[in-house]
Each structure stands twice: as structure tokens, then as C-alpha cells.
């Protein structure tokens, strides 16, 4: 499979059909694995790194899950192509910085992506739409078991799977979900939620993981520790916490509709106005405004069939996607113009927000569509 195929088909998780997909954008589970007694990628010399890559890559490519896969050496991808993969969460920002001796292999549906010689020899990730951590875990677990029969992984009886960074030792597993929480942000409850979550050993991060800003009201929540807890316990605990946050987000939205409706309509109206008429827009502004429109769709202010075009814009307006689509390298100013232009075109046939529709639904109280038991 070529890069153009990756580019032209959106990953399955982007189509957003999983459980709780209004609030949970995606679920991801990744395992870190290393070969026994071989230097970790960050410490290995170029020759050893390449030798390790040559050992691992064919084993990964021959997996049944990887039939008709996209498999590429990092040095053969352009900076822009790497960035596109980062924007789709198929490789990490760290991996995008790699060159000789590293590779990425992913399946056609873009639900399974395996990074070779990232920080660890193997980083295997499954990504699914909505809240499907258990399903994502099952796939990675299966792939891990298949690879383990052919490669000898570094494993210690007491410490479990050994990783380059001691923070990943044990299960080597990081499970995370991307949540869209505009209700909690608008009602200024988000910091409470973040604090509560960090107290129980889970981490909250921005859009692209560690050290990134929260944009577009998007938050990543993941397990912080990997030693001393079983994989399925971690996945179960995380799922429960996310279900609680989903409930809180729905409650916050209901309170906004009932008590701060003017603020809410003003936000939706402004977002619609700016997105429809602006001629220059940064990716941060675009994400923040699109988030409000997405909330508008959730609440019924826009018809349900407008959900997909908005979800697509979240990705298509990211810097690398923008440049890849326009087939040229653009400076920041040109990108902002192009971004605004694409958004205007896609929103051309978008109906005006119909606030009366939300009013009526919230008036019915218990029958309001975004209920806690989605």
C-alpha cells in the first residue's frame, strides 16, 4: 500500500461510529516491547539499530493482521508525510523525528500501527473509534502473542517487560482515550475533573500527548503507571473512569442549556459566524471553534448528518493535512488562508444553528437527547 492510499482513506476511527462516539473520539492501547540483551534504540549505534530493524520488520509484515499493509522506513518518508501520520495519531511525534533504522508498519484500516525502533524496539498500537479500550487491547494483545513466538522479548520475572524508560516497565502498556469535553470546559469544571483523575493514578494530557496543550476541548486520559497492576484491570479501571466523565460532561451540558443558555447560544452563533466568514484562521482557532460546532451537533442545533463533515475538518485543517491536500509547502500565513477557505467551502451548505430545537428538547426535561445513559 502506498502513502497516497493512506492519505485518501480516513482511518476507521475517524468515521466515529464506536460507543459513546459523541464524547469519546478514540480509544488507543499500546504495548512497548524490546528484544532481550540488545541495546534500546536510543542507545544502539546505527548499525545495531538497522540490524534490529531487519530482524523485526519481516516478522511484523508477515502478521495476518498486516496483509496489504503500509510499511515504510522513516528515512523514506518526507517531513510532511510523517507529520500527516502524527496528526492521525498513527505514529508519535518522537517517532516522526527518527530517520535511519526506524520504520512504521500499519494495516489498511489504520486500526493497527507498529512503530519499530521508536523509544523501544517495538511500539504496537491499536486505535478504535469511541470507547472501545477492551477491543483495542485485545488486538494488540493478540499481535504481541504472535510476535513473541518469533522474537525473544526482554522480560524479567519480577519487573515484567523491560523498557527503555522505567516509567513503562511491567506491562509496557499505555491505554488512553481522547475525550471531547466542551461542556465541562464552558462550565469551568474541567480543572476539578483533571485533579480528581490525576489523584487516582491516571494522567490527563493535550491533543498530541505528553507536554501538549489542550486544544479544541480535547483531552487525552491514560494510565500513569505500568507496574503492579494487570492489563485488564488497568483497562477496566480506565473505562469506568471515562464512563463517569462522560456522565459529568452530559450533566454539564444540561446545566448549560438550562441555566446559561444565552452564553451557549452566543458561543455556537459566534463559532458558526466566524467559521463561515473568516478568511484567515490558525489551526488552534479552527479546533476551538469546530469543537463548539460539534457540541452544537450533539445538542441538536445542527442536523445529525452534519456530524461527519465537522469531524473530518478536525483532521483536514491540521497543518500537514492542509499542505498534503494542496500538494505544496505553505508558510503559516498561506496555511491560515487556505484553512479558512476550506472551512468556508465545507460549511457553505451548512444550515444556520437552530436554537429552538435545543430549547424544545431541554424543555422536555427527561427526554432530552443527550442523556446520561447514551
Partner 1 sequence: MLCDVCKCNDATVFLTQILEGKMQKVNLCDACSKEKGVQDPTGFALADLLLGIGAAEEIEKGAPTQRCPVCGFTQADFKKTGRLGCSSCYVTFGEGLNTLLKAMHKGTEHVGKLPQRAHRAVELNDRMRTLTENLQKAVAEENYETAASLRDQIKQLEHELAS
Residue 52 CB, nearest approach to partner 1 (Å): 11
Task: Using alpha carbons, select from 208, 209, 141 the residue that is nearest to residue 172.
Answer: 141
Is residue 213 near partner 1 by the rule CB under 8 A? no
Is residue 155 near partner 1 by the rule CB under 8 A? yes
Residue 146 CB, nearest approach to partner 1 (Å): 11
Is residue 160 near partner 1 by the rule CB under 8 A? yes
Is residue 331 near partner 1 by the rule CB under 8 A? no
Is residue 171 near partner 1 by the rule CB under 8 A? yes
Q: Which of 46, 109, 150, 230 binds partner 1 (CB under 8 A)?
A: 230
Is residue 368 near partner 1 by the rule CB under 8 A? no
First to last CA, the chain: 38
| Dihedral sign (CA 96, 98, 99, 101) | negative
Q: Which stretch binds partner 1 (CB under 8 A): 167-175, 179-187, 313-321, 348-356?
A: 167-175
Is residue 208 near partner 1 by the rule CB under 8 A? no
Query: Which 103-122 residues touch partner 1, going by CB under 8 A?
Result: 119
Residue 153 CA: distances (Å) to CA of 40, 50, 149, 227, 340: 12, 18, 9, 17, 48
Is residue 228 near partner 1 by the rule CB under 8 A? yes
Residue 145 CB, nearest approach to partner 1 (Å): 8
Nearer to partner 1, 28 or 121 (CB): 121
Q: Which stretch binds partner 1 (CB under 8 A): 99-107, 228-236, 306-314, 324-332?
A: 228-236
Cell numbers given for 342: 476550506
What are the beta bridge partners of residue 112? 126
Q: Are 291 and 180 in contact (CB under 8 A)?
A: yes
Q: Which stretch binds partner 1 (CB under 8 A): 153-161, 247-255, 260-268, 304-312?
A: 153-161
Residue 305 CB, nearest approach to partner 1 (Å): 40
Cell numbers given for 68: 496489504
Residue 137 CB, nearest approach to partner 1 (Å): 11
Q: Which stretch binds partner 1 (CB under 8 A): 84-92, 96-104, 160-168, 249-257?
A: 160-168
Nearer to partner 1, 210 or 266 (CB): 210
DSSP letters along 137-200, please? HHHHHHHHHHHHTTS-B-EETTTEE--SSGGGTBT-EEEEEEEE-HHHHHTT-HHHHHHHHHHT
Q: Which of 7, 39, 196, 308 binds partner 1 (CB under 8 A)?
A: 39
Residue 188 CA: distances (Å) to CA of 181, 184, 253, 260, 267: 11, 6, 12, 12, 15
DSSP letters along 319-335, please? HHHHHHHHTS---HHHH
- Strands, sheet with 122-129, edge to edge from the N-terminal-most edge strand: 70-73, 103-106, 112-116, 122-129, 24-33, 173-180, 218-223, 202-205
Is residue 251 near partner 1 by the rule CB under 8 A? no
Is residue 149 near partner 1 by the rule CB under 8 A? yes
Nearer to partner 1, 90 or 143 (CB): 143
Residue linked to cell 500527548: 209
Helix, strand or coil, per DSSP, at residue 352: coil
Q: Residues interacting with partner 1, by CB under 8 A?
A: 34, 36-40, 42-43, 119, 141, 144-145, 148-149, 152-162, 164-167, 169-171, 173, 201, 210-211, 225-231
Amino acid at each position: 500500500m502506498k502513502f497516497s492510499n493512506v492519505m485518501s482513506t480516513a482511518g476507521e476511527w475517524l468515521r466515529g461510529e464506536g460507543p459513546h462516539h459523541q464524547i469519546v473520539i478514540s480509544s488507543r492501547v499500546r504495548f512497548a516491547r524490546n528484544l532481550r540483551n540488545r541495546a534500546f534504540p536510543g542507545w544502539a549505534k546505527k548499525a545495531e539499530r538497522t540490524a534490529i530493524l531487519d530482524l523485526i520488520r519481516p516478522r511484523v509484515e508477515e502478521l495476518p493482521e498486516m496483509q496489504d499493509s503500509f510499511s515504510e522506513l522513516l528515512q523514506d518518508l518526507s517531513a510532511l508525510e510523517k507529520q500527516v501520520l502524527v496528526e492521525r495519531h498513527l505514529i508519535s511525534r518522537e517517532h516522526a523525528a527518527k530517520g535511519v533504522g526506524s520504520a512504521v508498519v500499519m494495516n489498511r484500516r489504520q486500526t493497527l500501527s507498529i512503530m519499530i525502533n521508536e523509544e523501544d524496539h517495538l511500539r504496537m498500537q491499536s486505535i478504535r473509534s469511541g470507547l472501545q479500550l477492551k477491543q483495542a487491547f485485545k488486538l494488540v494483545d493478540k499481535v504481541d502473542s504472535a510476535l513473541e513466538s518469533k522474537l525473544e522479548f526482554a522480560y524479567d520475572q519480577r519487573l515484567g517487560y523491560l523498557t527503555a524508560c522505567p516509567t513503562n516497565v511491567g506491562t509496557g502498556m499505555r491505554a488512553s482515550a481522547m475525550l471531547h469535553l466542551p461542556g465541562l470546559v464552558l462550565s469551568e469544571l474541567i480543572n476539578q475533573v483533571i485533579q480528581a483523575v490525576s489523584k487516582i493514578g491516571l494522567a490527563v494530557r493535550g491533543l498530541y500527548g505528553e507536554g501538549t496543550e489542550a486544544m479544541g476541548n480535547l483531552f487525552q486520559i491514560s494510565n500513569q503507571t505500568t507496574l503492579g497492576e494487570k492489563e485488564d484491570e488497568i483497562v477496566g479501571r480506565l473505562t469506568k473512569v471515562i464512563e463517569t466523565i462522560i456522565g459529568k460532561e452530559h450533566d454539564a451540558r444540561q446545566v448549560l442549556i438550562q441555566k446559561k443558555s444565552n452564553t451557549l447560544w452566543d458561543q455556537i452563533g459566534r463559532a458558526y459566524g466566524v467559521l463561515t466568514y473568516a478568511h484567515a484562521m490558525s489551526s488552534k482557532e479552527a479546533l476551538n471553534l469546530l469543537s463548539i460546532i460539534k457540541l452544537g451537533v450533539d445538542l441538536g442545533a445542527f442536523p445529525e448528518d452534519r456530524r461527519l463533515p465537522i469531524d473530518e475538518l478536525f483532521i483536514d485543517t491540521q497543518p500537514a493535512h492542509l499542505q498534503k491536500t494542496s500538494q505544496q509547502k505553505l508558510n503559516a500565513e498561506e496555511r491560515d488562508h487556505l484553512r479558512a477557505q476550506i472551512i468556508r467551502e465545507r460549511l457553505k451548505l451548512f444550515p444556520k444553528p437552530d436554537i429552538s430545537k435545543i430549547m424544545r428538547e431541554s424543555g422536555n426535561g427527561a427526554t432530552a437527547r443527550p442523556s446520561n445513559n447514551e
